[in-house]
Amino acid sequence: MKILLMGNPNVGKSALFNRLTGARVIESNYPGTTVDYTKGYMLIEGKEVEIVDVPGTFSLEPRDKAEEVAVKMLKENKDAVVICVIDATRIERGLYLALEIIEGGYPVVVALNMWDAALDKNIEIDVKKLEEILGVPVVPTIAISGTGIKELVSKVHIAKPVRINEIMRRVTN
């Protein structure tokens, strides 16, 4: 199994990656580019799982080299589970990318990272409602402290592709 950590730049993907892998990392350049990505491993239910910290991107319509690499890595790993890391203080930015990835047919788990910062700013997010609308697991996390990480990992196995028309039906009902 492979897990891709995807999200906008500066949402805590690398902090989450370090938390998941214990910083047992291999840094690499994507072939033909100077854009780095990081690869590591963790055990889930006794099985070694590859975790890839994908370069940050705002959408699946790349505007620079890093975004091109992110999109290419996603397309080359159709069987991967995607943990879409979203800054909980700027949820609307991250949801755009999350919806694009879901629409692509990937199994997705959403990590609402920086949950503590959202609470500090009195930002209220109905996690259950968001999970219901998207049809994918949504887990509040604080990557730097490890809060929510066990729950996030436990949701990887239940992630499954969702049809975008199912989401639209839930939104309009």
Q: Tens digits of per-residue pLDDT, 24-41?
A: 555 555 555 446 778 999
49: enclosing H helix or E strand: strand 47-53
With the C-alpha atoms ordered 142, 146, 151, 154, is the resulting torsion angle positive or negative? positive
For the chain, what is the domain count?
1
Range of the domain at 11: 2-172
Q: Say if CB 48 and CB 74 are below 8 A apart.
A: no
Q: What pLDDT digit, counting tens, does each position of 111-149 carry?
A: 999 999 999 999 999 999 999 999 999 999 999 999 999
Q: At what angle do helices 91-103 and 164-172 cross, to 10 degrees?
A: 130
Q: Are 136 and 159 in contact (CB under 8 A)?
A: yes
pLDDT of 34 reads: 45
Q: What is the CB-side half-sphere exposure of residue 103 using CA atoms within 13 A?
A: 10
Do 42 and 22 form a contact (C-beta atoms < 8 A)? yes
108 three-class SS? strand
- CATH code of the domain covering residue 33: 3.40.50.300
Q: CB 61: neighbour CB atoms within 10 A?
A: 9
% helix, strand, coil for the chain, step of 5: 40, 25, 35
Across-strand partners of 29? 36
- Which residues are CB-contacts of 161 (< 8 A; sequence separation ≥ 6)? 102, 105, 106, 107
At 161 the pLDDT is: 86
pLDDT of residue 173: 62
* Bridge pairing between strands 81-87 and 47-53: unpaired
pLDDT at 72: 93
Give me the mean pLDDT over the 91-116 stretch: 96
Q: Which residues pair with 152 in a beta bridge?
A: none
